[in-house]
Structures are given as structure tokens and as C-alpha cells.
Amino acid sequence: MSQEAQYIGSYVKIEELPQTNLPEFAFIGRSNVGKSTLINRLLGRKNLAHTSSQPGKTRTINFFSLGQDRYYVDLPGYGYAKTSKAQRHQWLQMVYNYLTNRPQLACVFVLIDASIPPQTIDLNFINNLGEYGVPFCLVFTKIDKASTKDIQRNIRNFREKMQQHWEELPPQFQISALKNRGIDQLRQYINSIVANSQAYLQTSMP
């Protein structure tokens, strides 16, 4: 099967999204955490998803396909200081509407910057996902950006903070999208979900 990467489209309304039953994998996290960079890695392309050193680059729900069996969905990040109240409100509506009303959504990857200590905004976002019952995985990223000791301490502290609210922690990955580290493990995890969803579709056919 071809593994060709394609840009499908950019959307602001849930009703406009592609109507297929392909499994979707969405990437969310603070602005500038590296969502678009990671999607490019998974697609094997340099800048199909637009990246920037300035936060607030991705503003819409952007769909990409890889091969013919999945979509990767790039979302605008949260926590960008220069957004107005109205823009923040619009973001909340658009992103939560997508995350809570999309049966095709197989997994949400929440990106956490592992080069800095735990951020309340990330913990709050994750707790909200829990309240809405949205399944997610954690992707600790930018592991190239600090010493291994600092990275591991930040990750340990983040897990400890999460354990104050969660009995069980979700699957976790440690990556550097910039240096191409940990990407294969993430890709394998996604591939296994895609394979399972194909098996499910086949067995549930009339």
C-alpha cells in the first residue's frame, strides 16, 4: 500500500470535516510545543504541516492523510499569550467540539514539553479531557532540549502531578521531533491501532 502523505484540508467547523470512517489521530498541546513538527515526522515530510518558531502558527483543524488508512489531525495549540478573549473562546469551542464529537477519533496525543517543569495549563487540559471521556496518550517532547537528568525529572514530576487526579496513567512516549528520537515507537503504536480498527471494521461488516 502506498504511504503517500497528503494535505487534505483546513477546517473551522465540525460539519465540514471529511466524512469517512478512517481512524484519526489528533495532536494537541501548548502553542509552540511541536505538534506540527511531529506530524511532519510521522508523514515523512519536511513542512507539509506548517511550523514556526513563533507560537500561534496553526489556527485551524488541519487534516493530513498517510497512505489510505489514517488521518493525522493538526490542531491549534492552547496557552498562546497574545490571543484575545474572543479568539480563546473560539478555540475552546472549535477544539472541544472536535475532540468530543468525532467517532473516528482513535487517539488524541497530548504533547508535553519535557524540557520545562510541569505546567498547570497542561494538567488542566488533561483533566478536562478526562472529564469529557476523551481517550488520550502523553507525548513528552523536546527531550533534546535539556540534559537527560532534567528531562527525566520533569517527566517524573509531571507524572506525580497527574497521579493526584488519575488512578492510572495513559500510554506515554518520549520523543524529539527535531532529532527524530522516539518517533518509531510512536509510529508503531499508531500502526497497531490502525490494524485493530481495520480488523474491527471487517468483523463488524454485515
Ligand X SMILES: Nc1nc2c(ncn2[C@@H]2O[C@H](COP(=O)(O)OP(=O)(O)OP(=O)(O)O)[C@@H](O)[C@H]2O)c(=O)[nH]1
Binding site for ligand X (CB under 6 A): 31-37, 51-53, 55-58, 76-77, 141-142, 144-145, 176-178
Measured in Å, how far apart are the chain's first and last C-alpha atoms? 25
Instruction: Name the nearest CA neighbour of 34 among 163, 170, 181.
Output: 181
CB nearer ligand X, residue 61 or residue 106: 61
Q: How far is the CB of 7 from ligand X (least distance, A)?
A: 15
Q: How far is CA 166 from the centre of its chain?
A: 20
Q: Is 58 in the site for Mg ion (CB under 5 A)?
A: yes
Separation of alpha carbons 85 and 87, rounded Å: 5
Q: Is 154 in the site for Mg ion (CB under 5 A)?
A: no
Q: How far is the CB of 58 from Mg ion (least distance, A)?
A: 3
Tell me the three cell numbers of residue 46: 519536511
Separation of alpha carbons 27 and 175, rounded Å: 14
CB nearer Mg ion, residue 53 or residue 148: 53
CB nearer ligand X, residue 69 or residue 91: 91
Q: Is 40 in the site for Mg ion (CB under 5 A)?
A: no
> Do residues 111 and 35 lie in contact, with contact meaning Cβ atoms separated by under 8 Å?
yes
**Which of 27-35, 59-67, 109-117, 123-131 is the region at the interface with Mg ion (rule: CB under 5 A)?**
27-35
94-123 binders of Mg ion (CB under 5 A): none
Q: Which residue's beta carbon is nearest to the bound Mg ion?
A: 58
- Strand locations in the chain, DSSP E? 5-11, 24-29, 61-66, 70-74, 105-113, 136-141, 172-174
Q: Is 36 in the site for Mg ion (CB under 5 A)?
A: yes
- The contact set with Mg ion (CB under 5 A) reads 35-36, 57-58
